[in-house]
Chain A
Amino acid sequence: MDIAASILAEAIRSGTPLLLATLGEIYCERSGVLNLGLEGVMTIGALAGFVATLATGSVWIGVFSAMIAGGLFSLIHAFTSISLGANQTVSGLALTMLGTGVSSLIGGKYVGQPLPERLQIFQIPVLSEIPLAGGFFVHDPIVYFSIVLSIMMWFILFKTRIGIIIRTIGEKPEAADAAGVNVHLVRYLCVLSGGFLGGLGGAYVTLFYTPFWKEGIIRGRGWIALSLTIFSLWNPLGSIIGAYLFGGVEVLQFYLQEYRVPASLLRTLPYFTTILVLTTGSIGFMRKRLGAPAALGKPYRRES
């Protein structure tokens, strides 16, 4: 593999947890629920996946456990913000604090333990030798799965009836309600799948990307995914580009050090961009412009 291909390969690996979490958040926000607890959900998934793999010796059981844990954990947010109609910002932030706090508490004794099993990389012959583009074909199954998933999720969101229902609920929940759709149920399902994918994204970090657990291993990836949701204009296909771009910035620091570009400067870039995107995305008129779901963040109660 040439250098360009291996930078691309690294960017993809580094971007995959971001991609998974962003895909989940897109569905969540498209249905009108803002989940600021993503960082916590990912951390819970990262730990659950790691612990389950240690206990059972199977990475796949780890992956499955991470998704379940992420899903169940985000149900807390679903309950407070959908059923109770509480402030979604507060509930989401609480979820992040809870998730990262609980994980550090439980995770202490797993620091530094090696995983019993590791998934092999599927290097696709011939294709992986192509300059640059070869970087797409040297990955573990989750990377390939996440790309297929993005396309599927784009198709469902924009080309099927289910997608229309989700988008309508995010724009005008009362219209969907009038058409006989159970708004709360759909929102619950969207938050739940956001939790599944957030958990999977977290587990990708501790099971595939760096097979280690340590406190704070998610390192703001949840927040980056939140900004990627806006950056991709709530479109699953856009999130592929965004995730690999952000992943690339993270990886590039070690290539640019040779040219005396300070690592500390490069390392702030993803977070700097995140702040920029989140700020832009939260200014009222910009939101409309960017195509934010109109009912995003607003609890739905039927007028009686």
Chain B
Amino acid sequence: MSIPKISGIMVLLIAIFFAVGVAIGYVAGGWGKVPGYEYGMPVKKLKAGFIYVGPVEDFGWTAAHDQARKHVEKLFPWLETVYVESVEEAEAARYIERLVREEGADIVFTTSYGFMDPTIDVAQRYPDKLFFHCSGFKRRPNSGTYFVDFYQVYYLNGLMAGALTKTGKVGYVAAHPIPEVIRHINAFALGVKEANPEAKVYVRWLHEWYAPELAREAAQALVSIGVDTLAFTEDSTAIVEFAQQQYEQGKQLYVFSHYSPMQNVGPDVVVSGQLVHWEVIYADILMKVALNVYNNTNLENVDYLWMLKEGAVELGGKPGVPVNPKFIDELKNKYLPGKSISAYDAVMNRLALMKEANVPFDPFTGPIMDQNGNIKIQAGQRATIEQLFTEQMNWFVDNIIGSPSG
């Protein structure tokens, strides 16, 4: 007799729970639309903060990071992003902390070498938050590092520069004398040397990342001493515009664009360049954070170093165009000294090799000598990660004219 009574109460309770559940579900986000479920897994909302060293419109380094930020924000509906631009290195800690404390960011990406120590400091003070520092080498359980590197692409640019220069003088306008920039200059110089062993690479330091006026002055100074081919590490299009202007006045310069697609700015002068795809790395990191593959205990050894193989970098001054068609014939007609392969084929060949999974070719393969005639990399050996990516990279290859210390 009592059984039907009990089941009556149970039915009532189930009905009530069901009604309440429906009501909560309805209020909390609409039927069937569980937030973050679109990618086949339930994830919590994630807020990512970005600290930029330059203005987001700089056409270079910061613009590339910001485009990647927008890309991942669109890709992942569960992701929200905030950013601070033009942050001085001395003030970085304050801004990183602000993103974590006031903006409630779960993960902060700091995108300049000089932000390394501030990132580690703040990571220490906020052990439950995640941090990723770009281009540095210091890590903690809650702070990883990531980087793409262009040295392979710089080497390919150098091959073309060496093949194209008529004066045997190649210029490089560089930002700061740090391992990253020195490595790129060296890779570029190795390429130049292979295509033209007599050519010299003239380096001029700006000591700034974004300084169009100084970059233009430096380029002009290089051209005055006979340089006809220019590569650079500076985050504006100033040098490309300068070269295009020179072209319009009847002087052909060859330029390799930096970081962003600049071929449209200098259609008659940009031969090739380096393009970056930060979104590939950001998507990977954020996905793994969302899936809890990465958390505040296991980032100590998370160090991304992605290059051609992973698709994080691309050769060219324009996406999908590795070499400006205007210069292809010239490069096909120029053979590498002592070899039966044209500069163009050599570039394409090695590009393909460096995209392979086991990377059978590396530009930093010995023997490589520095400016003082010391052997830095022994014959037949490849440079180690330490040699390439730490303070050990403080020397210049022997065909470079200029000081590696600025």
Contacts and interface: CB of A to CB of B under 8 A. Distances in A.
Nearest to B205: A263
Contact of B225 (A3, A120, A262, A267): A3
Nearest to A252: B221
A7 interface: yes
Contacts of A210: 212-213, 216, 238
A213 B230 CA distance: 23
Chain B contact residues: over half helix, strand or loop, or mixed? mixed
Given A14-B217, A250-B217, A257 B212 contact: no
A114 B221 contact: no
Contact of A251 (B217, B237, B248): B217
B346 to A, nearest CB: 30
Interface in B171-222: 202-207, 210, 212-213, 216-218, 220-222
A258 B203 CA distance: 8
Interface residues of A, number: 36
B210 A214 contact: yes
A212 B55 contact: no
Given A14-B217, A112-B63, A210-B238, A254 B222 contact: yes
Nearest to A109: B57
B268 to A, nearest CB: 15
Contact of B213 (A6, A114, A217, A257): A217
Interface of B: 55, 57-59, 63, 86, 202-207, 210, 212-213, 216-218, 220-225, 236-238, 241, 245, 248-249, 265, 401-403, 406
Nearest to B203: A257
Contacts, number: 82
Contacts of B210: 214
A163 interface: no
Given A212-B213, A257-B402, 5 more contacts: A6-B224, A10-B220, A112-B63, A114-B237, A211-B241
B58 A254 contact: no
B213 A3 contact: no
A58 interface: no
B213 A209 contact: yes
A158 interface: no
A112 B55 contact: yes
Contacts of B55: 108, 111-112, 214-215
Contact of A260 (B58, B212, B249, B403): B403
Contact of B212 (A120, A214, A250, A267): A214
A115 B402 CA distance: 33
A10 to B, nearest CB: 6
A199 B241 CA distance: 24
Interface in A211-267: 211-212, 214-215, 217, 219, 250-251, 254-255, 257-258, 260, 262-264, 267
B129 to A, nearest CB: 29
B207 A212 contact: no
A212 B202 contact: no
Contacts of B249: 120-121, 123
Contacts of A121: 249
A3 B238 CA distance: 22
A254 B238 contact: no
Given A113-B57, A214-B210, A254-B218, A3 B224 contact: yes
A118 interface: yes
